């Protein structure tokens, strides 16, 4: 899951996508506990806990769609459905994966979450992440797939120049999250150390990874970002990092904030730039496109109305298949009867082919041509 390629399409405005790592010992159990609690509280309409192999075999809406298969490294598939703004349905799938490689102990379990609403996503809606994962610091579900980065907290930049540039490359090429770098003009107190993401709307809060540069890192951070990404790091300011390759709508000057006060107050200008950046069309990573396809084509958690519509659709399909089989059987029977008649005509009824009578004869009077002519009627759909 570490590698990431990008498709030519953009993320639909109805979708919420996330990918991270859970470093705890029982990721699936954490999900189950959260789903049970939210279902009991009436937050969720319903949920499902599925074995990935069984889920792929029993895909309800598109039984022959191979994209519904989450892959051989999948551990578990969870589905949940809830409503926002009273009547808008949200459907979401969370899949947990074993990591393809284990660079070090405790790398954790990779998870992919795809959610989609019936209209354009509103960042003030509840975060899909907290529908599956408990919103608690004691549960370590919120790590990026880029090592040593975590949501819901501040992540200090590496002090080594090579490590810093390597991290910037990984964040902009592999991560699905929005990355923001904030430079501390001076060492902040406890209030200033809290991440700016706490001021963001719920659905955006779990899409942002915040990096912090210490006061003495101003020059090295500015040099590394200029070299790797073509953006500048203002002293005491912040910048929203672009993706790589950089999108046409990204303007480095527009997404740079010259001054951020880390005193516990709401950094309004920076929050506005993050919201603006998050609303831009962004490339849809290939893994995210597959997750979104699975959500749409591999959905199992049907409402009673959807189950009725699905049953009616299956009845129609079976009726059409039976009608086609019946027509095919009738055509074969007619062809066999025509062939028997042609054979009887050319053999005199005793099954022995005789040469044509001497004299002027035409090619179409031969035994072979009679049988060919009989079958030819069934090749022409108009006869």
In this structure, are residues 232 and 239 in contact, taking their beta carbons and an 8 Å threshold? yes
Q: Which residue has the tokens 């349905």?
A: 89
Alpha helices by DSSP H, listed for 174-211, are: 190-193, 202-205
pLDDT on residue 3: 47
pLDDT on residue 5: 53
In this structure, is the dihedral angle defined by the CA atoms of residues 103, 106, 109 and 111, taken in order, positive or negative? negative
Number of residues that make up the chain: 383
**pLDDT tens-digit map of 72-97:** 889 999 999 999 998 999 999 999 99
Residue 225 tokens, joined: 């970002």
Closest CA to 236 of 256, 253, 255: 256
Among 134-143, 209-218, 330-339, which stretch is predicted with the lowest mean pLDDT? 330-339
For the segment 355-361, the average pLDDT, to the nearest whole number, is: 55
Query: DSSP states of 285-318 as a string?
Result: EHHHHHHHHHHHHS-----HHHHHHHHHHHHHHH
17 pLDDT above the threshold of 60: yes
Is the model more confident about 348 or about 2?
348
Helix (H) or strand (E) holding 213: strand 208-213
Which positions ≥6 away from 146 have C-beta within 8 Å?
Answer: 167, 170, 171, 174, 175
Among 62-71, 269-278, 353-362, which stretch is predicted with the lowest mean pLDDT? 353-362
The Cα–Cα gap between 282 and 291 comes to: 16
What mean pLDDT is reported for the chain? 86
In this structure, are residues 67 and 297 in contact, taking their beta carbons and an 8 Å threshold? yes
177 pLDDT above the threshold of 60: yes
181 pLDDT above the threshold of 60: yes
For 327, phi then psi, to 5°, come to: -65, -40
Is the model more confident about 319 or about 264?
264
**pLDDT tens-digit map of 231-285:** 999 999 999 999 988 888 999 999 999 999 999 999 999 999 999 999 999 999 9
Residue 199 tokens, joined: 């001021």
Residue 217 tokens, joined: 């890192």
The Cα–Cα gap between 212 and 196 comes to: 11
């Amino acid at each position: 899951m570490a590698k990431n390629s990008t498709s030519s399409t953009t993320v639909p405005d109805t979708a919420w996508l996330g990918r991270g790592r859970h470093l705890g010992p029982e990721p699936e159990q954490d999900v189950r506990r959260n789903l049970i609690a939210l279902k009991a509280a009436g937050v969720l309409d319903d949920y499902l806990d599925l074995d990935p192999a069984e889920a792929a075999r029993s895909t309800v809406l598109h039984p022959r769609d191979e994209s519904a298969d989450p892959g051989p490294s999948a551990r578990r598939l969870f589905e949940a459905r809830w409503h926002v703004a009273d009547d808008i349905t949200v459907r979401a799938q969370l899949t947990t994966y074993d990591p393809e490689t284990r660079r070090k102990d405790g790398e954790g379990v990779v998870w992919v979450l795809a959610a989609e609403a019936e209209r354009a996503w509103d960042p003030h809606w509840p975060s899909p992440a907290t529908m599956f994962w408990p919103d608690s610091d004691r549960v370590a579900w919120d790590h990026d797939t880029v090592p040593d980065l975590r949501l819901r907290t501040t992540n200090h930049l590496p002090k080594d120049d090579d490590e810093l540039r390597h991290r910037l490359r990984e964040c902009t090429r592999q991560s699905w999250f929005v990355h923001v770098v904030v430079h501390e003009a001076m060492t902040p107190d406890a209030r200033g150390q809290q991440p700016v993401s706490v001021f963001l709307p719920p659905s955006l809060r779990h899409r942002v990874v915040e990096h912090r540069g210490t006061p003495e890192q101003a020059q090295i951070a500015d040099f590394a970002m200029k070299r790797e990404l073509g953006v500048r790091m203002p002293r005491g300011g912040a910048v929203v990092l672009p993706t790589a390759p950089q999108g046409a709508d990204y303007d480095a000057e527009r997404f740079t904030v010259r001054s951020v006060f880390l005193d516990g107050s709401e950094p309004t200008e920076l929050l506005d730039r993050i919201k603006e950046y998050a609303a831009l069309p962004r490339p849809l990573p290939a893994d995210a496109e597959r997750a979104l396809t699975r959500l749409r084509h591999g959905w199992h958690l049907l409402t009673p109305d959807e189950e009725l519509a699905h049953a009616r659709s299956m009845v129609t399909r079976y009726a059409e298949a039976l009608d086609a089989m019946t027509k095919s059987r009738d055509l074969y029977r007619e062809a066999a009867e025509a062939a028997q008649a042609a054979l009887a005509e050319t053999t005199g009824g005793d099954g022995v082919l005789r040469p044509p009578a001497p004299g002027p004869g035409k090619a179409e009077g031969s035994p072979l041509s009679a049988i060919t002519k009989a079958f030819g009627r069934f090749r022409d759909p108009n006869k």
